[in-house]
Amino acid sequence: MTDKTTLVRLDGIFHALPTYPDDQGYQGLTAIVTGANGISGYHMVKVLAAAPQRWAKIYCLSRRPPPDYFFKDLGEGAAGRVEHVEVDFLDTSGSIGKSLKGKIDKVDHVFFFSFATTKQEGAVLGMWSDADALAKLNTDLIVNFTQGLKDADLKPKRFLLQTGAKQYGFHIGPATNPSFETDPRVTLENNFYYPQEDALDAYCKETGAQWNVVRPSYIIGAVRDNLLNHMVGFAIYGAVQAHLGEPLEFPGDYLAWDREFCQSSAMLNAYLEEFAVLHPNAGNQAFNASDGTPFTWSRFFPYLASWYGTSWTPPSDDPQKYRTTESRWTQTPRGYGPRGITRSTFSLCEWAASAKVQKAWEQLKARHGLRIDPFEDVGKTFGICDSAVIGGWALSLSTRKARKWGFYGCADSYESMYWCLKGLVDLKVSPPLAVGEFQEVVD
């Protein structure tokens, strides 16, 4: 085995990030970032904009213009290299091609984060249950866009698609854990990631481009206009309970309280995604993405309570208080073992439906000039929190492959969550925190 030295760097809370050669192959590149207003797309733009020698031009594609904070938070000088192009991927490919042609002369790498959702049910284990509609909607996005690229005569070298842990069926029931990128597809129901990957593979075979797929877990990141974000639900839960002088209660049982989980910070995901497209030998490879921190809700809830200045309670010891919910398929995603079962005393969707809770939010909203209504679609805002915290099976994405390829980036998920909540405060999504810095909590 040949010894090899790799230089890494530090960026705030993100450690062991890659460095790149100072040569022509890593300079003056052009990127397209789709879904640029969302959690993942926005943080991808931030990572690229922070490397002006590598990324000379960044085109941000989305249906709506960027929010008011978008260019300000990219740093000095970035706005001149970052340009928004308004385009709707549910339009015809011909219209998409016309939107791109003449505005974008060339592209080296595409980062695809566009996502569309139907109205979410929000019940316990009910997220993403409309699998067929989601598959049709999201496959149309990537098919229409890739055809639009061809119509505009744009030929990327590498096309990266971000999917996620639903690849392995965690949203359905117990999956093989930890999950490896080589695990087989779960065919119990439709999954929009699979036709998206197939469409991308077909596009690359036709055009000669190479693809990458990156699969994170629940994503930690602050943007204003994306409420399908478990951190928004936690921010509202913490702020309202503190306002009411009530503790943070955990809705699941001790199995869910102590199960090992993983989180994926949006910035760290983006660093991995930049690494993937720039690695000369990583074409046509998929990578899991996680922070590299073992994570449990039993560790997180004391942090969350301290950040909002309230107390917390562990799961109930009384078995009579729990109701049982079974996963929607008898067969498990891993193909063997008992059906997925969760036990809960309440759900955050039910909590959010309370008149007392909504009145408290209106008081907080008026006091702090908040700019969102999280109760307009309770299933969207709080259903994703319920899907994360109420469950009896672990979720772990192995990042051994990324490490073998040379990406060693990591982050403390708890610290990342703190700074995400601070970011939501700055964006007027949630009220101020009770503490000004991240501090360790002894429960």
What is the per-residue pLDDT across 288-342, written as a single tens digit (0 to 9) for each? Answer: 999 998 899 999 999 999 999 999 999 999 999 999 999 989 999 999 999 999 9
Residue 3: pLDDT band with limits 50, 70, 90 = low
Percent of the chain with pLDDT over 70: 99
Q: What distance in Å separates the CA atoms of residue 381 and residue 440, rounded to the nearest whole number?
A: 28
Considering the domain architecture, whether residues 211 and 156 belong to the same structural domain is answered as yes
Do both 162 and 243 map to the same domain?
no
Q: Band the pLDDT of 125: cuts 50, 70, 90.
A: confident
pLDDT at 127: 79
CATH number, domain at 118?
A: 3.40.50.720
Phi and psi torsions of 27, nearest 5°: -135, 150
Domain membership flag for residue 18: no
> What is the number of domains present in the chain?
2
Q: Are residues 146 and 278 in the same domain?
A: yes
Give 170: exposed, middle or buried? Use CB within 10 Å, 0-12, 13-18, 19+.
buried
pLDDT, tens digit, for every residue of 204-246? Answer: 999 999 999 999 999 999 999 887 899 999 999 999 999 999 9
Q: Are residues 148 and 252 in the same domain?
A: no
Distance CA 406, CA 5 (A): 10
Could you tell me the pLDDT band of residue 276, with boundaries at 50, 70 and 90? Answer: very high
Structure confidence at residue 360 (pLDDT): 98
Distance CA 221, CA 257 (A): 23
Q: Look at residue 440 and tell me if it is in a domain.
A: no
Name the pLDDT band for 2 (thresholds 50, 70, 90).
low
Question: 129 and 37: one domain?
Answer: yes
Residue 14 pLDDT exceeds 50: yes
Rg, Å, the chain Cα set:
22
- Quick check: pTM over 0.75? yes
Q: How far is CA 220 from the centre of its chain?
A: 6
Same domain, 187 and 116: yes
Do 251 and 134 share a structural domain?
no
Confidence of residue 1 (pLDDT cuts 50, 70, 90): very low
127 shares a domain with 116? yes
| pLDDT higher than threshold 80 for residue 365 | yes
Residue 87, pLDDT > 80, answer: yes
Kindly provide the b/e burial profile for residues 187-223, where b requires at least 16 CB atoms within 10 angstroms of the residue's own CB.
ebeebbbbbbbebbeebbeeeebbbbbbbbbbbbbbb
Instruction: Report the alpha-carbon distance of residue 220 to residue 225 in Å, rounded.
Output: 15
| Alpha-carbon span 249 to 235, nearest angstrom | 14
Pairing of the two strands 263-265 and 341-344: unpaired
Q: What is the mean pLDDT of the chain?
A: 94
Flag whether 130 is in a domain: yes
67 and 184 part of one domain = yes
Domain that includes residue 330, residue range: 230-262+294-395+410-426
For residues 253 and 278, membership in a common domain is answered with no
Residue 103 in any domain: the answer is yes
Residue 161 counted as domain residue: yes
Decide: helix, strand or coil at residue 329: coil
For residues 244 and 373, state if they share a domain: yes
Q: Tell whether 186 and 159 lie within a shared domain.
A: yes
End residue of a domain, out of 272, 289, 306: 289
Please report whether residue 5 resides in a domain.
no
Q: Find the helix or strand (DSSP H, E) in which 352 lies.
A: helix 348-352
Instruction: Report d(CA 432, CA 332) in Å as an integer.
Output: 42
Q: Identify whether 22 is part of a domain.
A: no
For residue 14, tell me if it sits in a domain. Answer: no
pLDDT at 73: 83
Cβ–Cβ < 8 Å for 339, 329: yes
Write out pLDDT tens, residues 343-359. Answer: 999 999 999 999 999 99
